[in-house]
């Protein structure tokens, strides 16, 4: 997997956190840059750890199922991408933001919830040629950037853009999954 694909996946993984960050920014009275960076660091650190955990779990399994690894990576990315597209299209228009400031436990819980898909992507990374440390750092940095931006833009952009971002991230995962499958099938005699 090349660096461009890793960066695309990194930003795709950060879109659900971006959507959450927008809602956090809406819920905060006037978020400051230090507050946004703090929230971004929490989300980025957790989002960087989960693909490593997934990769470790997938590495154990990859030895047993290396013949089907490309199909597994394709399937996981397709499922995650479709889930993100579905979640982004399903609008909760009646949801009103709470105006309470976010706490560390609540931010950590939200960050973990949005990083489950990154763990599954980490599992799929075990079945393709990728440097997991580069991928984890890319995912963490992309999430830090997107969450910080999301918090700062939250009041302005609102929920609509956050949902579109998740749809775009899902489509990117679907494209990457298809690319992995196509690349492997093209290399197979």
How many angstroms separate the CA atoms of 56 and 45, rounded? 17
Tell me the mean pLDDT in the region 150-159. Answer: 73
Could you please state the CATH topology (level 3) that the domain comprising 3-91+99-187 is classified under.
Growth Hormone; Chain: A; (1.20.1250)
Between CA 36 and CA 33 the distance in angstroms is 5
**CA torsion 170→72→45→7, rounded to 10°?**
-60
92 phi, psi to nearest 5 deg: -100, 80
Domain spans in the chain, listed from the N-terminal domain onward: 3-91+99-187
Rounded Cα distance, 171 and 173, in Å? 5
Average the pLDDT over 169-179 and give the result: 76
Bigger pLDDT: 45 vs 72:
45
Q: Higher model confidence: residue 182 or residue 46?
A: 46
Query: What percentage of the chain exceeds 90 in pLDDT?
Result: 25
**Residue 133 class from Cβ within 10 Å (0-12 exposed, 13-18 middle, 19+ buried)?**
exposed
Intra-chain end-to-end CA distance of the chain, in Å: 20
158: left (phi over 0), alpha (psi -120 to 50) or beta: left
């Amino acid at each position: 997997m090349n660096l461009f694909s890793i960066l695309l996946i990194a930003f795709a993984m950060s879109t659900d956190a971006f959507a959450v960050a927008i809602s956090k920014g809406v819920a905060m009275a006037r978020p400051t840059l230090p507050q946004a960076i703090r929230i971004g660091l929490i989300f980025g650190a957790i989002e960087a750890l989960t693909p490593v955990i997934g990769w470790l779990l997938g590495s154990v399994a990859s030895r047993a199922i290396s013949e089907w690894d490309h199909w597994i990576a394709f399937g996981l990315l397709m499922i995650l991408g479709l889930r993100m597209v579905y979640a982004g299209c399903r609008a909760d228009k009646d949801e009103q933001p709470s105006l309470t400031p976010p706490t560390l436990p609540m931010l950590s819980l939200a960050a973990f919830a949005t990083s489950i898909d990154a763990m599954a992507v980490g599992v799929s990374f075990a079945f393709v040629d990728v440097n997991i440390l580069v991928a984890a750092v890319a995912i963490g940095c992309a999430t830090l950037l997107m969450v910080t931006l999301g918090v700062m833009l939250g009041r302005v952009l609102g929920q609509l853009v956050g949902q579109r971002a998740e749809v775009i991230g899902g489509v990117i995962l679907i494209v990457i999954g298809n690319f992995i499958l196509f690349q492997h099938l093209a290399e197979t005699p």
